[in-house]
Amino acid sequence: MTDSEYHEKTSAVLASVEQAVDRYLQDDVVDIDAHRTGGLLELGFPNGSKIVLNTQPPLHELWMAARSGGYHYKFSNGRWLDREGREFFEALSASASEQAGVAVKFAPPA
């Protein structure tokens, strides 16, 4: 993957997460505060916990830090996967649901 492709893919991922957070807020599902600075997106939950998503351009990775731990994802076969083969959006959905106290789901950009 080229640097340009990496930046395009990670920008789409972060935008997709932001759009989902906006929908949850608009639909009054849960109040998740999203704050983005460049390649870093911080999600704040009502209980005070956070999930931080961070791009790592030199490594072409996407990182997630949540209560459950820290995870590194590489783009492979059309999906962001960690070393154990766990998919980014599944992991984000599980962590966010746990921290939000309600079921929330995040999906790859269309």
Could you tell me which CATH class the domain 3-100 is placed in? alpha beta
Give the start-to-end residue ranges of the domains of the chain. 3-100
CA dihedral 75, 76, 79, 82 (to 10 degrees): -70
pTM, to two decimals: 0.93
3-state secondary structure (DSSP) of residue 25:
helix
Closest of 19, 28, 13 to residue 91, by C-alpha: 13
* Helix, strand and coil in the chain, % to nearest 5: 35, 30, 30
What is the C-alpha to C-alpha distance for residues 17 and 32, in angstroms, rounded to an integer? 11
pLDDT, tens digit (0-9, with 9 covering 90-100), for 59-91: 999 999 999 999 999 999 999 999 999 999 999
Report which DSSP code applies to 102.
Answer: S
What pLDDT was estimated at residue 5? 96
What pLDDT was estimated at residue 41? 97
